[in-house]
Amino acid sequence: MTTPARAGAAPAFIAALAAVAIASCATVGPSGATSLYRRIARSAVIVEAEHSTGSGTVIASEPGVLLVLTAHHVVAAGPKALRIVLADPSLSPDANAPAVIVAVDADHDLALLLAETSISRPPLPIARHEPALYEPLYSVAAPLGLGGTASPALLSSKAIRHGESDLWEITGFTFFGSSGGTLANAQGELVAVPIRVASMGTFPVPDVGFCVPLPAIRQFLARTVPELDL
């Protein structure tokens, strides 16, 4: 999505990011934010396809199996060479596991992956209620393949039209590789999935991103994983 260039755009975005960081800490406190990011990061993974790299969130797990939510466009081009990477400082080297696509919602750019691995990961719960406009959110993703990248965000709009559906706009770091990542609320619940970065002409604007909203996520999971506790 293209946004118009304007004078002073870079300083404005820097100021916006500073405001996001301040709001984030004010919501849960610095020590609380650290604990929250660590909890979210345990459920975040890197998704690698044949021609792309993105992010994902573990939403269900059983011994030997992880169910991962990601963006459909991340895996659509290379469904036969998928794997998830568990980026974690405690793992040396980072563990990876083959994955297969088990369900997709191309209209909302969502996909579910099933990965077999002996490494357990706690699933991130799905929020039951939408965040309020301008509510601080907490992002963990893998921009440029850098797993575990954490950043604060704000929900700036719930009415960005994209095709036949609406996206949410966030103010916060989003870049190539963030697609499919985790956006959580202060309770550590998944509320949105990043899928696009804004741009000015051909230049990406990493401080503005667009996400699949919670209602679309819940509808997709209710239809494809009815046994999941939503």
What is residue 137's predicted lDDT score, i.e. its pLDDT? 97
Q: Answer yes or no: do 71 and 89 share one domain.
A: yes
- Residues in CB range of 91: below 8 A, 6 or more apart: 119
Q: Is residue 184 part of a domain?
A: yes
Nearest residue to 71 via CA among 228, 205, 216, 189: 216
What's the residue count for the chain?
A: 230
Nearest residue to 190 via CA among 122, 144, 118, 142: 122
Q: Answer yes or no: do 95 and 143 share one domain.
A: no
What is residue 14's predicted lDDT score, i.e. its pLDDT? 42
Consecutive sets of 10 residues in the chain, 230 residues long: mean pLDDT of each? 38 45 55 90 94 95 95 88 80 79 96 92 96 96 92 93 86 92 97 91 85 97 91
Residues 174-207: tens digit of each pLDDT: 889 999 999 999 999 999 999 998 887 788 888 8
The last residue of one of the domains, among 103, 123, 143, is 123
The last residue of one of the domains, among 92, 123, 154, is 123
Q: Is residue 185 part of a domain?
A: yes
Q: Is residue 114 part of a domain?
A: yes
Q: Is residue 64 part of a domain?
A: yes
The last residue of one of the domains, among 108, 123, 138, is 123
Q: Answer yes or no: do 110 and 159 share one domain.
A: no
Q: Is residue 7 part of a domain?
A: no
Query: Residue 192 sits in a domain of what CATH number?
Result: 2.40.10.10
Number of domains composing the chain: 2
d(CA 161, CA 137): 21
Q: Which two tokens stand for residue 47?
A: 């998704």
Residues 20-42: tens digit of each pLDDT: 444 444 456 767 889 999 999 99
- Residues in CB range of 143: below 8 A, 6 or more apart: 149, 173, 174, 175, 176, 177, 178, 206
Q: Give how far the C-alpha of residue 96 lies from the chain's centroid of Cα atoms, to the nearest Å.
A: 19
Q: Answer yes or no: do 130 and 216 share one domain.
A: yes
What is residue 92's predicted lDDT score, i.e. its pLDDT? 55
Q: Answer yes or no: do 130 and 51 share one domain.
A: no
Q: What's at 139, amino acid-wise?
A: S
Q: Answer yes or no: do 71 and 105 share one domain.
A: yes
d(CA 138, CA 40): 8
Q: Is residue 38 part of a domain?
A: no
Q: Is residue 172 part of a domain?
A: yes
Q: Answer yes or no: do 73 and 109 share one domain.
A: yes
Q: Which two tokens stand for residue 116?
A: 């077999």
Q: Answer yes or no: do 129 and 215 share one domain.
A: yes
Q: Answer yes or no: do 133 and 204 share one domain.
A: yes
Beta strands per DSSP E along the chain: 44-48, 53-62, 65-70, 83-86, 95-105, 110-116, 136-141, 149-162, 165-172, 182-184, 190-200, 203-213
Q: Give how far the C-alpha of residue 184 lies from the chain's centroid of Cα atoms, to the nearest Å.
A: 8
pTM of the model: 0.84
- 62: domain range? 44-123
Q: Answer yes or no: do 116 and 154 share one domain.
A: no
Q: Answer yes or no: do 87 and 161 share one domain.
A: no
β-pair partners for 140: 150, 182
Three-state SS letters, 150-178: EEEEEEEEEEEEECCEEEEEEEECCCCCC
